[in-house]
Structure formats: C-alpha cells, structure tokens
Amino acid sequence: MSFATHYSVSPQSWGKGRSTRELAEEVAVAIVVNGSTLAVMMATPADLEAFGVGFALTEGVIEQASEISRLEVVNHDLGIEVRLWIGADKAQAMAARRRQQSGPTGCGLCGIESLKEAMRVSRPVRSRLDLSVEKIREAASSLRPVQSLNAITRAVHAAALWHPDHGVLAVCEDVGRHNALDKLAGRAAQMNLDAGHCAVLLTSRVSIELIQKTAVLGAPVLIAVSAPTRLAVDAAQAAGITLIGVARDDGFEVFS
C-alpha cells in the first residue's frame, strides 16, 4: 500500500504553474483484540503490525509483546483492521477497563470513568541516561534526516529511539503523533531493543499521553522539537523522565 499520493496543486506564489505534490495517506485503522474492537484511529497505513503491538503495550492491554499469540492486518474498503489475539485473562482485564480508556488530547474522553485513567500515574522509569549538551544536540539533529515520508509530504510526525553510541536505532512516522510513538514502542519490542539506554525523539509538542507511553517504553529521556504542556512536565517528573523540549539547532530547554 502506498503511504503518499500524487496530487495536482496550483501554487499561488513565485509565478509557478500547476504542479504535483505528495500527500500523506490517512486511513481508519481499527485495533481489534480477540474479536473486539479496542480503538479506531486515523493513521498512516505503514508499520501497522508494530502499531498494533505498540498500542497494546502502551495502553496496558499486555505487558510483553510475547503475550500476543497471533497478529494479522486485514484490509477493508473503508479502512484496515489490525487483529491481535491474547490470552483469556488479559482479554478479561481489557474488557473490565474498556470504558476507562483515555482519549488523546483534543479528542475528548470516553465517559466519566476515564478521567481517573487519563490522569494515571506512570510506572517510574528506573534506568538512567546522562547526556552532554553536545550529545543532546546530536540527538535532536539526527531526527530530520531519517524522516523519509515527511521529506516528501511535510505532513507527518516521527518518533525515534536514539542511542548515544549508535544513533537512531528505529524510527516510525505517522500523521498522528500518538500513533508514531505507539508504532515505535511496537517496533522496539519486535526488534528486542532496550529503550532503557536510549532517548525517545519526537517531532511534536509533548502532552501527558506521550509521557505515559514513553514511560511504558522505559526510556529515561525524551527530546522533542516543541514545548511540553505543564501536565506533561509534572508527569515526567513523577515518572523520573528527563524531558527536553524546544530542541533546535540553536539550543534546547530542560523541563524535568
């Protein structure tokens, strides 16, 4: 499946005539666990197996990727299903908390019970990663060159796992910033990467959900190109995550 489509546009500056641009694909992707739809997101149809694994991990449906006995991606006319099968005990626990699922910022929450779930305290990250100013700048500058889809569309976010000695170990892109991080969590699990010795790199602002997902991933440092929300800073401090924002060529800001 293509992740970008040629589209005819009419530039209104510099005297250009009609030209074409690559537009990022966006489709409805349903995460289906043991036959029951857990969530539906608008997403880029790339790395969907990693997306399913990562979403199940970061939303607490499973604790280890090995708990998934089978996974398949099924295309439909209206979208895509990522189907996962897990043990009965995990499925029952998932059903019990279905109405407590937190929704992404700006999208509302699923019922009054989800308010407590949205504000859940992340499990503390026990690992530690000390980075010099030079290493932080190196990490921040390493993200743009590996954003292959964004290079042609200018419309997708990226999440990457970066190691101070080995650089970018994995990167995932998506029209949704939450989706990109979920895909990265799944990719890390599939590749058996130890996030405890790495930093997560993000192209977006940082809200509390991204801190919660980073904590599940186990990365002790998060570096983003934009600023965090105040609640994200509080969550990062509680989880023991070093949160670095506004990471650009001319510097960065340490929030926790």
How far does CA 246 lie from the centroid of its chain? 18
Nearest to 73 by CA among 99, 96, 43, 102: 43
Nearest to 256 by CA among 117, 124, 105, 60: 124
**For the chain, what's the residue count?**
256
Exactly one of 107, 110, 172, 198 is catalytic; name it.
Answer: 107
Structure tokens at 82: 């990522």
How far is it, in rounded angstroms, from Cα 215 to Cα 226? 19
- The answer to whether 107 is a known catalytic residue is yes
Nearest to 180 by CA among 3, 34, 1: 3
> With the CA atoms of 145, 151, 156 and 157 taken in that order, what torsion angle do they form, in degrees rounded to the nearest 10?
10
Q: Which active-site residues does the annotation give? A: 107
